[in-house]
Amino acid sequence: MADLFILVPAPVLGPATWRPVADELTARGARVVVPSLAGFTDGGPPYAPRLIRLCAEQTGAALADGSAADRVVLVVHSGAGPFAAQLAAAGPAGRAGVAVIFADAGLPAAEGPTPVVDGGFLPYLRGLARDGVVPPWPLWFPDADPAELYPSEAARAAVLTDAKPLPLSFFEEELASAPGPSQAQYLLFSDGYRGEAEAARSRGWPVAELPGTHLHMLADPAAVAAALLSP
């Protein structure tokens, strides 16, 4: 048996953000699933249940051969963080003891419903939206230097290919209250998520830091894989 890592990309991005780390984990003997969330907005709202179902179905397919895993580790990046409780409980991965690692990610509410996006950021997205549609994530911060986020033009092109416009109404949804993970830790990459890391620490979760950018998985996949494999 081997550990099974489920590397969930931010809903606004895609599998390209995790593929280098997936390759590193596979080379070290782990089993890896990088779910694609493409199409979760098809069919109209509510969008969150479809996103959760897509992730669970792809995880289930990875376990369909009946082989067991020593442990299941759910790794959520960025905007996938608020979905962690629902993702951990859904499908075959939703067994007792699933571990959750928040990688530069938002957190589910400690109690009560969890907004898909923090209310303080919603006005910015509403300002970006046109006709109820938010542009792809790489266009959210026009003053950002691409050279700081992407280690190569190929990495940037892959991320741009995955990122799609999304309905503003998706970001306005709330996730129903759900029990928090029984095993959780936080992996901080960027200063922009230091507040979330401190909130995780206040919940008693271990916090580790790999200083870099929000897409540090692309810049140093070996170091990120090693951090994910650490007990």
Three-state secondary-structure class, residue 167: strand
Q: Where are the alpha helices (DSSP H) in 47-193?
A: 48-62, 84-89, 122-128, 146-149, 153-162, 168-171
Report the pLDDT value the prediction gives residue 94, as an integer from 0 to 100: 46
> Could you tell me if residue 170 is left (phi over 0), alpha (psi between -120 and 50 degrees) or otherwise beta?
alpha
How many helices (DSSP H) and strands (DSSP E) are in the chain?
Answer: 10, 10
Report the pLDDT value the prediction gives residue 62, as an integer from 0 to 100: 67
All domains in the chain, ordered by first residue: 2-229 (3.40.50.1820)
Q: Tokens standing for 45?
A: 């709202």
**Distance (Å, whole) CA 110 – CA 121:** 19
Between 195 and 142, the higher pLDDT residue: 195
Model confidence over 139-182: pLDDT tens digits?
Answer: 999 888 888 899 999 999 999 999 999 999 999 999 998 888 88
Per-residue pLDDT at 90 exceeds 90 = no
Per-residue pLDDT at 67 exceeds 60 = no
Question: Per-residue pLDDT averaged across 55-82, rounded?
Answer: 82
Question: Per-residue pLDDT averaged across 13-30, rounded?
Answer: 97
Question: Per-residue pLDDT averaged across 72-90, rounded?
Answer: 93
Average pLDDT, the chain: 92
Per-residue pLDDT at 93 exceeds 50 = no
Question: The whole model's pTM is what?
Answer: 0.94
Task: Name the residue type at position 117.
Answer: V
Per-residue pLDDT at 41 exceeds 80 = yes
Edge-to-edge strand list for the sheet holding 31-33: 31-33, 2-8, 69-78, 99-105, 183-188, 207-209
Share of the chain above pLDDT 70, in %: 93
**Distance (Å, whole) CA 130 – CA 123:** 13
Question: Per-residue pLDDT averaged across 130-142, rounded?
Answer: 95
